[in-house]
Amino acid sequence: MNSKIAEYGDKEIEFQGKYHRSVFRLIIWSWMRWPMRSIGIILLSILGRLAFIGNTVIVGYWADSLCDNKVYCQGVPNFASSWDNNDYILALLIFTALSFLFTGFFQSLMSVTGLKACEKIINETMYRVSRAPAAFFDKNPVGRVFSRFSTDFSQLTTSMGLHLSNITGNFVEMLLMLIFAGLTSLWFLPLFLTAGILSAVTYNMNKMSIRNERRNTVSEQAPSISHFAATVQGANSIRSYQKEEKFLDKFGELIQKYFLKKCTAELYFQFYSYQLNLITALWIFGCGVLGVYLIEQHLVSLGEVGIILGFVSMISSLFQRFFTLISSLENGLASAERLNDYVRMPIEPNSLLTPKSEFDSGHQKEQESLQMSLSDQPFPLLTIKHLDFSYGEDLPLALKDINLEAKPGESIGIIGRTGSGKSSLFKVLLGYYGFQKGLVTIGGKQLGLCGQEKPDNYLGLKEWRSQFSYISQSPPIFRGPLRENLTIRSQEDRKVADKKMLQTLEKVGLEKWFQGLPQGLDTPIEEGGTNLSVGQKQLLVIARCLLRKAPILLIDEATSSVDPYSEEKFVKTANQLLKHKTRLVIAHRLSTLTDCDRVLWLDGGSIRMEGRPEEVIPVFTAHAGTLENKLI
């Protein structure tokens, strides 16, 4: 299946028609992890229902055995013909206990297995999303992704953990009742079959409209959540512009659309429910009339009609429940369909899937052999030759014919007006986006495609990225202990000793602050570092880079959020402490760059000038019509 995710614009995708078979393949895969258990579950459900239904039969035959009017009570000789009252009571007790036992086991086993299967699907989705291309996050607002990871997860969990076990139980029960009804008296079988066929036909007639309405309801939910997430993120700006009403109106509009869809879906469902009610009402009426006629004709006994009517009343409510549950299961299927879309989407160019992934979605998986080391070159040369890059086929080039050579330990400043391509250059270097033309190498090796034939000259994405430390325009601080914020929870950094972390905190000048923390390295840090000062956050980020062994440092100076003095101090401190690394520094405050070996001036995606800071900066400031040190 070709994933439609890449085509997503601002509208959530709407699925139509039949479910793609890959959705069922994913669900079956998630269950088939435990084949023997799945067979056991079906067996338990049959035994439990068998014992339950057996009770009805026993009561019918018992009633016949007590009946004085022998004409109306003579049915076909059966297994209980020679039983006395005690036998009937004992049989009822045994059957009740068995049905209780088997059904209990069946339901709990099925629910647990269903939830485990769900966990599998959710994990597989996470593995792909963690490797999703940068373009995916550009096109999918956080609210949409959040909606999938909350609504779809919970719907899938309810369906697989609850609905599926009820549906299986109901189905087995209905099937067994039909068999028992047939064994008790064949006269009623045509009516049973007609009711079954009519219910199935009605379901089929309504299926598509209910399904599509339910799917559309789910997709109408995401835009309102996206809007809500964006509103919460920008709450302060919205308040300062006094635009709360506008945002509320927009939310109202989106949520109204969602509820309209939900109402339509519910109306479709209610209409279908009325049709089912009509079928069962006619069915019970038919069986009652036929029963009385057959007793009068001495073709069935009173007890047998009792058994049949017992079955009819049970099956009629089961039919209703079964088809209602099937249509509730559609919610789970719609969610599985949307998660399946994530599971099959293309992952980052050059990237490999984590070895933890078990589901075969056609993506290549990581193998240890692909991880090559550049350890023989602690400070490799970085070269860029004739690089052309654009964010999309129909978008203009963001970088044009870029040529650069960064020698080990060299520091290069990058300047240019806003939108000139400075951050884009870093994104390409980090392999977030594939480029259209040119060559980028580190230590003579280029970023290789998965399964490349000449591994000597190529690096896998993981190894490639391990060559860089990156300080973005807004470096992330995670919610969690200080220790994890220093190592960013990465596998290889887990080995970093506490002593090393303390030394690093001392090096960046955070020792005084650290000494005042009673919980030391386990001190909890809030999301975005809200319990830290701006300066502390910056020094923490520098400490993070110092702890990482990467030989190349990329700093994208922040344009906002900090005062110019703090930012300049930050970049200079980072430059000073990390001067043993090759550094590429994007600077908006030109005074930051006076210590650089070279400066590169980007203009409209191309290199306009390159040279010593004292050569390039004056020309640039004259061109930009700004004074040195002024924000551009």
Q: Which of 24, 146, 171, 391 binds ligand ATP (CB under 6 A)?
A: 391
Sole residue written with tokens 């009385």:
292
Token digits for 409? 């330990």
Residue 405 sits at φ, ψ, to 5 deg, of -135, 115
Q: Which of 334, 398, 482, 532 binds ligand ATP (CB under 6 A)?
A: 398
Is there a contact between 59 and 314 (Cβ–Cβ < 8 Å)? Answer: no
Q: How far is the CB of 433 from ligand ATP (least distance, A)?
A: 8
Residue list 113-142, contact with ligand ATP (CB under 6 A)? 138
The interface region with ligand ATP, picked from 225-233, 285-293, 413-421, 575-583 by CB under 6 A, is 413-421
Binding-site size, Mg ion (CB under 5 A): 1
The interface region with ligand ATP, picked from 12-20, 287-295, 411-419, 623-631 by CB under 6 A, is 411-419
Per partner kind, with CB cut-offs from 5 to 8 A, the member of Mg ion, ligand ATP, none near residue 105 is none
Q: How far is the CB of 423 from Mg ion (least distance, A)?
A: 3
Q: How far is the CB of 421 from ligand ATP (least distance, A)?
A: 4
Q: Which of 270, 297, 369, 418 binds ligand ATP (CB under 6 A)?
A: 418
CA–CA gap between residue 29 and residue 31 (Å, rounded): 5
Q: How far is the CB of 398 from ligand ATP (least distance, A)?
A: 4
Q: How far is the CB of 481 from ligand ATP (least distance, A)?
A: 32
Token digits for 43? 């067996």
Point out which residues pair with 365 in neighbouring strands: 353
CA–CA gap between residue 190 and residue 178 (Å, rounded): 11
Within 500-605, strands assigned E span 524-525, 552-556, 582-586, 598-603
Q: How far is the CB of 422 from ligand ATP (least distance, A)?
A: 4
Question: Which residue, 223 or 416, is less far from Mg ion as judged by CB?
Answer: 416
Q: How far is the CB of 600 from ligand ATP (least distance, A)?
A: 12
- Name the residue number minimizing CB distance to Mg ion: 423
Q: Which of 104, 234, 252, 419 binds ligand ATP (CB under 6 A)?
A: 419
The interface region with ligand ATP, picked from 261-269, 375-383, 417-425, 566-574 by CB under 6 A, is 417-425
Per partner kind, with CB cut-offs from 5 to 8 A, the member of Mg ion, ligand ATP, none near residue 419 is ligand ATP
- What H or E segment, with its residue span, contains residue 255? helix 244-296
Question: Which residue, 294 or 398, is less far from ligand ATP as judged by CB?
Answer: 398
Pick from 425, 462, 443: nearest CA to 582: 443
Residue list 421-460, contact with Mg ion (CB under 5 A)? 423
Would you count residue 566 as binding Mg ion (CB under 5 A)?
A: no
Per partner kind, with CB cut-offs from 5 to 8 A, the member of Mg ion, ligand ATP, none near residue 170 is none
Is there a contact between 161 and 111 (Cβ–Cβ < 8 Å)? Answer: yes
**SS3 of residue 20 by DSSP:** coil
| Alpha-carbon distance values, 328 to 75, 155, 260 (Å) | 42, 10, 19
The interface region with ligand ATP, picked from 33-41, 259-267, 421-429, 511-519 by CB under 6 A, is 421-429
In sign, the C-alpha dihedral spanning 171, 176, 179, 184 is: negative
Q: For residue 326, give the DSSP letter.
A: H
Per partner kind, with CB cut-offs from 5 to 8 A, the member of ligand ATP, Mg ion, none near residue 303 is none
**What is the end-to-end Cα distance of the chain in Å, rounded?**
47
Question: Which residue, 304 or 567, is less far from Mg ion as judged by CB?
Answer: 567
CA–CA gap between residue 184 and residue 177 (Å, rounded): 10
Residue list 179-218, contact with ligand ATP (CB under 6 A)? none
Burial of 495 (0-12, 13-18, 19+ CB in 10 A): exposed
Q: How far is the CB of 583 from ligand ATP (least distance, A)?
A: 17
Is there a contact between 621 and 628 (Cβ–Cβ < 8 Å)? Answer: yes
Tell me what percent of the chain is helix, strand and coil, each rounded to the nearest 5.
60, 10, 30
Q: Which of 421, 431, 448, 529 binds ligand ATP (CB under 6 A)?
A: 421
List CB contacts of 145: < 8 A, sequence separation 6 or more: 129, 137
Give ∠ CA 139-141-143 in degrees, rounded to 5.
155
Question: Which residue, 216 or 420, is less far from ligand ATP as judged by CB?
Answer: 420
In sign, the C-alpha dihedral spanning 207, 211, 214, 217 is: negative
Q: How far is the CB of 473 from Mg ion (least distance, A)?
A: 6
Q: Which of 163, 211, 215, 422 binds ligand ATP (CB under 6 A)?
A: 422
Question: Which residue, 451 or 476, is less far from Mg ion as judged by CB?
Answer: 476
In sign, the C-alpha dihedral spanning 99, 104, 109, 111 is: positive
Q: How far is the CB of 424 from ligand ATP (least distance, A)?
A: 3
Q: How far is the CB of 421 from Mg ion (least distance, A)?
A: 9
Binding-site size, ligand ATP (CB under 6 A): 12
Q: How far is the CB of 422 from Mg ion (least distance, A)?
A: 5
Residue 441 sits at φ, ψ, to 5 deg, of -135, 150
Q: Which of 107, 113, 206, 420 binds ligand ATP (CB under 6 A)?
A: 420
3-state SS, 450-493, equals CCCCCHHHEECHHHHHCCEEEECCCCCCCCEEHHHHHHCCCCHH
Would you count residue 424 as binding ligand ATP (CB under 6 A)?
A: yes
Question: Which residue, 377 or 473, is less far from ligand ATP as judged by CB?
Answer: 473
CA–CA gap between residue 344 and residue 353 (Å, rounded): 12
Question: Which residue, 51 or 554, is less far from ligand ATP as judged by CB?
Answer: 554
Question: Which residue, 420 or 487, is less far from ligand ATP as judged by CB?
Answer: 420
| Site track for Mg ion across 408-427, x = CB under 5 A | ---------------x----
The interface region with ligand ATP, picked from 74-82, 243-251, 412-420, 508-516 by CB under 6 A, is 412-420
Question: Which residue, 436 or 474, is less far from Mg ion as judged by CB?
Answer: 474
Is there a contact between 362 and 22 (Cβ–Cβ < 8 Å)? Answer: no
CA–CA gap between residue 632 and residue 629 (Å, rounded): 9
Would you count residue 423 as binding ligand ATP (CB under 6 A)?
A: yes
The interface region with ligand ATP, picked from 233-241, 316-324, 419-427, 508-516 by CB under 6 A, is 419-427
Q: How far is the CB of 559 from ligand ATP (least distance, A)?
A: 6
Is there a contact between 585 and 412 (Cβ–Cβ < 8 Å)? Answer: yes
List CB contacts of 283: < 8 A, sequence separation 6 or more: 191, 194, 195, 312, 316
- Contact residues for Mg ion, defined by CB under 5 A: 423
Under the rule (CB under 6 A), what is the footprint of ligand ATP?
138, 391, 395, 398, 416, 418-424
